Structure 1
Amino acid sequence: MNLSNVFICIGCAFAVASGQVLMKVASLSWNEMGGLFNIRTLSWLVTAFAVYGLSSLVWIYVLRHIPLSQAYPFLSITFLLVPIASAVFFSEKFDWVNVASAVLIVAGVSLNSFVRQNIS
């Protein structure tokens, strides 16, 4: 996998994570506004779906050019990005379990990329 494809995969992971965070913002707005059919809540929800939908289209592009077995590990980065974003934006807990999980995820993605690159 070439470097531009790696960046596209990472960008897709960031877009998926952003969509998840925006869905959380929409849910908080829904609670605060007391209903789904509020312009603020619907705006957040439409934005979340747009970002998530765009990331799905990029993912389809990725799968046209990269084997799924090589591309999929990059989506695991979302399991790192979403907890960090939830701690930063929503003051949710980020403890040693999150850190250990993040280290394992980054190590796994790095190992997968390194081995695939050196085998090919």
Structure 2
Amino acid sequence: MNPRRGMTFALGSVLLVSAAQLGMRWSMTRLPAPQDWLPLSNLDVTALTVVMAAIFAYALSMLCWLLALRDLPLGRAYSLLSISYALVYLLAASLPLFNETFSFSRSLGVALVILGVITINTRPARTSRLRSSP
């Protein structure tokens, strides 16, 4: 097990899935409802391209996640996924193209999530010891 490599893949997964979420949000506000997708001339090519890129980012995110699970205990790896919730909220509220707003309760929730992730991942990992039979 290589925890540093696992952490790198887990954080790569978080960044990719966060980018995918933001890309999906941006695109879906620019595309018509699915029942109006035909004829294809109704579709914004840029928004459709971003949707496809977001789907690809999801796939890469899953690959990074699978590689992270080889090197990290599940409890640590899974807690890192929570960073994506915080990251998406912070970016969506910070970037004007998403037209989201900050709120005290959401920001407090994000702070608590980050505090939880830090708490889980700064404690030394316990290694399971197998008892050897006599």
Q: Settle same-fold status: TM greater than 0.5.
A: yes
Tell me the residue number matched to 1:98.
106
Tell me the residue number matched to 1:72.
78
Going by fraction, where is helix more abundant, 1 or 2? 1
Q: Aligned residues: percent identity?
A: 25
Counterpart of 2:50 (choices 39, 44, 54) is: 44
Deviation, structure 1 residue 100: 0.7
Computed over aligned residues only, the root mean square deviation of the Cα atoms, in angstroms, reads 2.2
Cα separation, 2, equivalents of 1:14 and 1:98: 20
5+ unaligned residues in a row in structure 1: which ranges? Answer: none
Paired residues in the alignment total 118
User: Bigger shift: 49-58 or 7-16?
Assistant: 7-16
Cα separation, 1, equivalents of 2:107 and 2:48: 34
Larger radius of gyration: 2
5+ unaligned residues in a row in structure 2: which ranges? Answer: 128-134
Report if the CA contact (8 A) 2:20-2:58 is conserved. yes
Counterpart of 1:112 (choices 95, 101, 120) is: 120
TM-score computed with the length of structure 2 as normaliser = 0.76
